[in-house]
Amino acid sequence: MHSDLNQNAAVARGLLKENVAQRLREEILAARISPGEKIVEGKWAREYGVAQISVREALNILATQGFVTKGHGRSARVLKLEKADIIHIYQVRGALEGLAARLIAEGKLPVDDMEAAFNDIRHSVNTGDLRRVIESVQHFHMLLLEKPRNSVLREYGRRLLVPLYAFTLMRALVKKVDTGPWERQLGLHRLIIDVLRQGNPYLAEQTLIHVTNSFLQAALEVWAQ
């Protein structure tokens, strides 16, 4: 009986922090909390009528999702990327995804899961669901980075992509961007799969570097400014 009560309390606490995280995420996406702004735990605890620990746990979730940054012993702040940050991320991302593509081509690794992810991007574009589009594009590129089974490549890729796509969503919603820019990138995502299937490591690597640069130019034109 005592064990059941503890388990129920743990479930309730988990649901509460997820709920608080979702509410804070919507505050961020609606720009009611601005990029770079400090998130004061006590203020939001009072706002939502919850304990401060629930807000802290929610912020840990949002940090994992890339929406907030938390330095050691410092308050959480909403993620803020300057133009230079975005350019630097894409430059390193191109190198990492190029390496992943080379390893995939060398190993003749199957890409059926990436094909399914591509279809998800296309479906999301067709339904006009911007949030789902950005989520599915992130999933596609994480599959690319995970496929070679190189833990260092996967971890550093995740550190770049998770906050980048969180910030992409934040900016795209504020600027009221539709799914058109990602529709125009469908051909590039198709090209990635096709070049991986060809199995030429050098071509795969160079193609990913080139494609990532194209993604950067689109980002600078559409949402980063």
Q: Which two tokens stand for residue 31?
A: 């720009």
Q: How is the chain split into domains, by residue range?
A: 2-78, 83-222
CA distances from 208 to 10, 46, 49, 190 (A): 44, 48, 48, 12
Residue 68 phi, psi dihedral angles, 5° rounding? -130, 160
Please, are residues 206 and 99 in contact by the beta-carbon 8 Å criterion?
A: no
For residue 142, how many other CB atoms are within 10 A of its CB? Answer: 17
According to the CATH classification, is domain 83-222 in 3.40.1000.10? no
Q: pLDDT tens, position by position, for the chain (225 residues)?
A: 555 545 555 556 768 899 999 999 999 999 999 999 999 999 999 999 999 999 999 999 999 999 999 877 678 999 999 999 999 999 999 999 999 999 999 999 999 999 999 999 999 999 999 999 999 999 999 999 999 999 999 999 999 999 999 999 999 999 999 999 999 999 999 999 999 999 999 999 999 999 999 999 999 999 987
Bridge partners of 78? 68
According to the CATH classification, is domain 2-78 in 3.30.1360.170? no
Evaluate if pTM is beyond 0.85.
Answer: yes
Length of the chain: 225
- The sign one gets for the Cα dihedral 31, 79, 101, 95 is positive
Please, are residues 118 and 140 in contact by the beta-carbon 8 Å criterion?
A: yes
